[in-house]
Amino acid sequence: MTKRTIVLAATLVTLVGLSVPFVGASARATPARPDIFPSEWCGNQAPPCVVSASRNGVAITENDPTYAVSAAGSPQSDGEFLTQWGIADAQAAGSFATLAPGDVGVPFSITVDVGAHPPRVADEYAGGASVTDTFDSVAGTWDVTVSGTAVEQGVNADCNATTWTCPQNETNTIVAFQGEIGDWQQWSDSAQWNDFAGLDQWTNAELTEIPPQITGNPLTISEELGNSHELNGQVFEGFWYGVLPNAFLVDMGINDPSTLTSAGISASVGTGTVTVTPGPTSTKIAITGITFSPRIVHIKRGSITPNAPTGLTGRRASATVAYLTFHAARPRGSYVRSYQGRCVAPHHPTRYGTGSGSPVKVTSLIRGVDYNCQVRAKASVGYGPWSTLTAARAASVASLTLSRSSVAYGHENAEKLAVKVTSPLGGTPAGTVTIKIKSTVLCTLRLADDTGSCTLSAKRLKPGTYSLTASYGGSTYYTGTSATKTLTVTG
């Protein structure tokens, strides 16, 4: 798309009562100071025109003795209809359109009727800008309100818009609240025009590439900036803010913007602090503390693969099959399409399985081999990270054997209790087994080659009949189980 370098601070003053071409405005333009010229207010001229304006909440009228408010627009050679607007102080001295030094940081607002041209994209020299638009269905026209604070910047007529360089120390400064509104119909794919609706950027840099360069598939943004390193001997710290609509994010390859995280947009400018804030309808990018030689803002799609699934459990359904159950992965800008599971064991082949959701089935496991498994989610842009490894646990079976079913009181030490824990899926369960009568622990034994035993103490039990329970608590690779036997102590 055609690059247009707009130098708003140097050209907007010519909009006051003067019809001028907007494309290719010279970076070396030297306009005269503005005059009060109410003809650009609605009622005096057809749209684009000024509906209203204010300073610090106080209305500015079309005959205000201090503030000159301008709005004018025309078709561009690239197909876009562009409206430029500005507020300047008609009493200010000097050669360039400016507000007074005391207006730096003061809130201003302007409402412009841009006619029937949809106000899709906006750009401002301002701080803290916000843009709202209202469609008049009766008149078929759009009112656009831009609010923000005035900013101090160097006069960009002193810069070279070809090399994007400015004087090392700029002593010629202005205070600006100016901008433009376009219908973006210069974009070659008309089906995407409305995807740009709500795209906005604002800055205090002297030279700004308006509109930004948007290229590639998926789309990326490049925004060239230029500014003096110092203003009046003080190091200049610039800012650039952008608001990207969700439909535009889809064109950037982020097909699920509602789940986007800050990692999903990669923004850089060389210096400064970058903050990415995803929202339900758009994502805001803030770059602050920019210092200058020439700078280029680069915005592209970042990491939008899904997060890892959570809550993973693995179950050996048979000697050769495991089922991996998990909580769905949280998408980060791209819909989750499927899941992949894998099970690994030292010195054995890794086995894989896929599925559309939980559980995922993994086959071809080897009998008696202990496996650790994990899952990951897949989106259209690729796989996300693997979950943490979790053992695929096999079922276990316990048996409790008594050396005799009846023993005389005082001779319980003649009773040997033997436990064996096995798995129908193979392998050798390990761990401990506790033998109890209700809540009373008779003994605790550790399995060795899946077996263990203990002997009762003499006079431990009074005469009677008892139900003994051997409980295996399970291990990393085997689930718990239990077994019971009846023992009689005679008097």
Average pLDDT for 132-137: 96
What is residue 254's DSSP assignment?
Answer: -
Structure confidence at residue 38 (pLDDT): 62
Integer Cα distance of 97 and 175 in angstroms: 8
Q: Are residues 139 and 44 in the same domain?
A: yes
The band of 389, judged by pLDDT with boundaries at 50, 70 and 90, is very high
The band of 219, judged by pLDDT with boundaries at 50, 70 and 90, is confident
Closest CA to 292 of 145, 150, 169: 169
Average pLDDT for 328-332: 95
Residue 43 has a CB neighbour count (10 Å cut-off) of 10
CATH label of the domain that carries residue 402? 2.60.40.1930
CB-CB contact of 154 with 172 (8 Å)? yes
Q: What is the pLDDT of residues 238-297, one digit of tens each?
A: 999 999 999 999 988 899 998 888 888 888 888 889 999 999 999 999 999 999 888 888
pLDDT over 70 (residue 168): yes
> How far is CA 408 from its chain centroid?
74
CB-CB contact of 363 with 351 (8 Å)? yes
- Torsional sign, CA 286, 216, 281, 74: positive
The residue segments making up the domain with residue 324 are 310-393
What is residue 78's DSSP assignment?
Answer: T
Integer Cα distance of 277 and 263 in angstroms: 10
pLDDT over 50 (residue 31): no
Q: Are residues 386 and 414 in the same domain?
A: no
Q: Are residues 74 and 185 in the same domain?
A: yes
In the chain, % of residues over pLDDT 70: 92
Q: Are residues 103 and 9 in the same domain?
A: yes
Structure confidence at residue 191 (pLDDT): 93
Q: Are residues 354 and 429 in the same domain?
A: no
More confident: 180 or 14: 180
Residue with tokens 């890892």: 308
Which residue, of 301, 320, 352, is where some domain finishes? 301
pLDDT over 60 (residue 20): no
pLDDT over 70 (residue 5): no
Q: Are residues 73 and 192 in the same domain?
A: yes
Q: Are residues 248 and 182 in the same domain?
A: yes
pLDDT over 50 (residue 17): no
Q: Which of 10-19, 336-345, 481-490 shows the lowest mean pLDDT across its residues?
A: 10-19
Which residue, of 365, 393, 421, is where some domain finishes? 393
- Torsional sign, CA 38, 44, 49, 53: positive
Structure confidence at residue 212 (pLDDT): 75
Q: What is the pLDDT of residues 33-80, one digit of tens each?
A: 445 556 699 999 999 999 999 999 999 999 999 999 999 999 999 899
Structure confidence at residue 19 (pLDDT): 21
Q: What is the pLDDT of residues 137-160, one digit of tens each?
A: 999 999 999 999 999 999 988 898
- The number of domains in the chain is 3
Integer Cα distance of 133 and 14 in angstroms: 25
Q: Which of 117-131, 209-223, 361-375, 446-460 shows the lowest mean pLDDT across its residues?
A: 209-223
In the chain, % of residues over pLDDT 90: 72
Structure confidence at residue 13 (pLDDT): 24
What Å distances lie between residue 440 and 283, 421, 456, 461, CA to CA?
Answer: 62, 22, 13, 11
pTM: 0.72
DSSP assignments along 11-55, one per residue: HGGGGTT-----TT--TT--PPPP---GGGBBTTBSSSEEEEEEE
Which residue, of 254, 284, 301, is where some domain finishes? 301
Q: What is the pLDDT of residues 335-355, one digit of tens each?
A: 999 999 999 999 999 999 999
pLDDT over 50 (residue 11): no
Structure confidence at residue 359 (pLDDT): 98
Q: Are residues 117 and 73 in the same domain?
A: yes
Average pLDDT for 223-240: 92
70 burial type by CB count under 10 A (0-12 exposed, 13-18 middle, 19+ buried): buried
Provide the mean pLDDT of the chain.
88
Average pLDDT for 121-136: 96
Q: Are residues 421 and 294 in the same domain?
A: no
| CB half-sphere exposure, 261, CA atoms < 13 A | 9
The band of 358, judged by pLDDT with boundaries at 50, 70 and 90, is very high
Structure confidence at residue 22 (pLDDT): 25
Q: Are residues 362 and 469 in the same domain?
A: no
Peptide bond before residue 107 is cis, with ω within 30 degrees of 0:
no
- Residue 459 identity: K
* E strands present in 380-490: 382-383, 390-393, 397-402, 406-408, 416-422, 432-437, 440-446, 451-455, 464-472, 481-490
Q: Are residues 423 and 438 in the same domain?
A: yes
Structure confidence at residue 21 (pLDDT): 23
Q: Are residues 352 and 286 in the same domain?
A: no
